[in-house]
Chain A
Amino acid sequence: MGTENPESPGCYTEHGVSGYGVAAKLSAKEPMTEAFVKEMAEEMMLNIAGKCMDAGARCIGHVKSHVETRAGTIKADTIGVAHGAYSKGNLTRPVKDLHMAVNSIVQGIVEETVKAATLEGMHEVAHGYGLSVVKEKEHAYFDAFDFMASKEAYQKELEAQFDEAGKPDLNEEA
């Protein structure tokens, strides 16, 4: 895949819409239950949305996330603080590690501002829930076309993707 016309901005830029995506691996010292992960993810979505609005956004298109773990997946999203956040999915058992993709699409602020709000919002809530952001990568693809991969193969791909990113792109925390 690729952008055929990288010099030309997308149609959405005419409407003041900016987006930012980041993938991260989060780890906890103690196993996290499904309820814990959902609560954390919902709070993260609202925190990011709130930071975007505080930075001057006029409308939240969406802030959405996909959480992949060895025990199942969770999806959480919001279309604005006033609308609340929602999550669905399930985990078959508590987990210590999770991979999370976050997309923020917002109207009224530039991409750099969306990026700052997204990263600050993610780190703030993760730390508040006692999670470490072990690795993170911008614009990472969680999977490229291979939607039929086994769960084990998929996890390996996720890990490999972070490894391939190289040390300069990784933001490792204790």
Chain B
Amino acid sequence: MKITQIAGFLGCGKTTLMLELSRALAGNGKRKVAMVVNEIGEIPVDGKVAQGSGMQVMDIGGGCICCEVAATFAKTIYRLYKDFDPDHVLVEPTGVAVPHQVKLAARMGGRDAKIGLGPAIVLFDATRPAELLDMEMLGRLVTTQLKDADIIAISKVDAVKETEVADSSRRVRDYNAKAEIFNLSSFSGLGVDQLVDRILGWKE
């Protein structure tokens, strides 16, 4: 059971990508895929959206899985392993979660389950780089997410000019020299197949 997180700040397109990735990873029934959705807003709007996918979905509310409800997340991972035994679990943390802490929480769930960790995919919204990076408090959070990424996906590239996409790529590279950077458009499907390949081939 490989656990892959789709992280990134609020509103960057995580839920949309999760749904596309889950369908692509499932490959017409070749693999079992489950999703874990975490929301701090108390009402699981994203979980309801994911419901329509027909996949196994676990919704964790009441706090952030990287800190407040990390133990609930670990139990959820174990429960999925025991009851459903999927090949892949896609995890959507809240938009304010810190990816390396989510990895730690997932490993807690792996004490009693056979799990492997997939890449931490962090989305960066190309429509608002300045909003995300140039404010002091928020910038610290977003840059921490970028630093923790194994793969950075510049999202919503269909909504901005090519020069703006390049600018976002350049800016995120300043925070993470190692991560692979993809352009992503959930509207056109750009980048989704590449991400699926990376998840399937990812070794810890």
Q: With a CB–CB cut-off of 8 A, which chain A residues contact B72?
A: 1-2, 4
How many Å lie between the Cα of A20 and that of B43 in the bound state? 9
- Which of B11, B62, B70, B97 sits near A2, CB closer than 8 Å? B62
The distance in angstroms between the C-alpha atoms of A152 and B50, with both chains bound, is: 19
**Cα–Cα distance between A64 and B48 once the two chains are bound (Å):** 12
Quick check: A10 and B67 within 8 Å, CB to CB? yes
Bound-complex Cα distance A99 to B39 (A):
19
Residue pair B48, A107 in contact (C-beta under 8 Å): no
Question: What 1/0 flags go to B15-59 for Cβ under 8 Å of A?
Answer: 000000000000000000000000111111111111110000111
Q: Is A17 an interface residue (CB 8 A)?
A: yes
From A14, A19, A143, B41 is in contact (CB under 8 Å) with A19
Which residues of chain B are within 8 angstroms of A142 by Cβ–Cβ distance? 43-45, 47-48
Contact of A75 with B45 at beta-carbon distance under 8 Å, contacts A59-B135, A61-B95 already known: yes
Closest to A1 in B: B62
A167 contacts the other chain (CB 8 A): no
The 0/1 profile, CB within 8 Å of B marked 1, for residues 131-168 of chain A is 00000001111111101000000000000000000000
- Give which listed residue, B60, B69, B137, contacts A107 with CB less than 8 A: B137
Contacting chain A: which of B123-131, B146-154, B167-175, B194-202?
A: B123-131
In the bound complex, CA of A128 to CA of B71 (Å): 44
Task: Find out whether the CB atom of B101 lies under 8 angstroms from the CB atom of A21.
Answer: no
Question: How many pairs of A and B residues are in contact by the CB < 8 Å rule?
Answer: 146
Q: Is A130 an interface residue (CB 8 A)?
A: no
A11 at the interface (CB under 8 A from B): yes
Query: Chain B contacts of A12 at CB under 8 A?
Result: 40, 64, 94, 96-97, 141
Number of A residues with CB within 8 Å of any CB on chain B: 49
Cβ of A83 < 8 Å from any Cβ of B? yes
Within 8 A of B (CB), among A1-44: 1-6, 8, 10-12, 14-17, 19-23
CA A2 to CA B75, docked complex, whole Å: 12
Q: Which residues of B from 51 to 107 have beta carbons under 8 Å from A?
A: 51-52, 57-64, 66-72, 94-98, 101
A-B contact pairs, 30 of them (CB 8 A): A1-B62, A10-B68, A11-B64, A11-B67, A11-B68, A11-B98, A12-B40, A12-B141, A14-B141, A15-B137, A15-B141, A16-B137, A21-B41, A21-B43, A59-B131, A59-B138, A66-B48, A66-B49, A79-B11, A80-B128, A101-B45, A101-B48, A103-B42, A105-B40, A105-B41, A107-B137, A140-B42, A142-B48, A143-B51, A145-B58
List 4 additional contacts besides A3-B69, A11-B64; criterion CB under 8 Å.
Answer: A12-B97, A15-B137, A138-B42, A141-B43
Residues of A within 8 A of B (CB): 1-6, 8, 10-12, 14-17, 19-23, 58-62, 64-66, 68, 73, 75, 77, 79-80, 83, 101-105, 107, 138-145, 147
